[in-house]
Amino acid sequence: MEDVVDDLDAGRTDDHSRTCEHCATARRSLENLMEATAALVADPSEPPPTLLGRIMQAVRAEARRGDVLALEGAELGPADVSEVAVAAVLRFAADSVEGVWARSCHITVEPGSAGTIAVAMTLSLRYGSGPAEGLLGEVRGRLAAALAGQVGLHAHRVDLTIVDVWPEEEL
């Protein structure tokens, strides 16, 4: 039967396989398997609709809050904001520039200067979205606005690194 597999794979037939009853039987059963395999590949069955929620529930239970950043001018006591939350705000701000995706965002606090942070962000750009310089300038503007307006922090340094450029049709 393995010879028949090879012949089927290669689309070959010869006089023997056309006339031999055993080969014909083997060929039929392999074709049957191929059809069933195609049906299995196309199987539309989905996992239970509750599965995603259960997975995310377990993940949320483990998600750490992350380190906290001290805010400037908190006279009524220290107000903290989590690094994770700030990074999420900044990624969201960068995403709002057309053709830009934030990939990672690291935040570091300058020792002794509450309210001042350094941001290191990596970005993916969509090819053809315009000159990178202009896009990066726009990202900087949105990051500064988001920090001042939504978080109450100031970035003394923003490092942007382009780590990927992707063609539009790929996704």
Which residues bind to another protein, rule: CB under 8 A? Answer: 1-2, 5, 8-9, 25-26, 29-30, 32-48, 51-52, 54-56, 58-60, 62-64, 66, 84, 87-88, 91, 101-106, 122, 124, 164, 166, 171
The residue (of 28 and 72) whose beta carbon lies closer to another protein is: 28
The residue (of 31 and 110) whose beta carbon lies closer to another protein is: 31
C-alpha 127/C-alpha 143 separation (Å) is 22
* Cα-only R_g, the chain: 29
C-alpha 45/C-alpha 23 separation (Å) is 35
CB of 41 vs another protein, minimal distance in Å: 6
Is the CB of residue 73 less than 8 Å from the CB of residue 79?
Answer: no
CB of 104 vs another protein, minimal distance in Å: 4
Beta strand pairing call for 68-70 and 116-126: unpaired
The residue (of 43 and 75) whose beta carbon lies closer to another protein is: 43
CB of 54 vs another protein, minimal distance in Å: 6
Task: Outline where 11-130 has alpha helix (H).
Answer: 15-19, 21-41, 51-62, 83-95
The residue (of 95 and 138) whose beta carbon lies closer to another protein is: 95
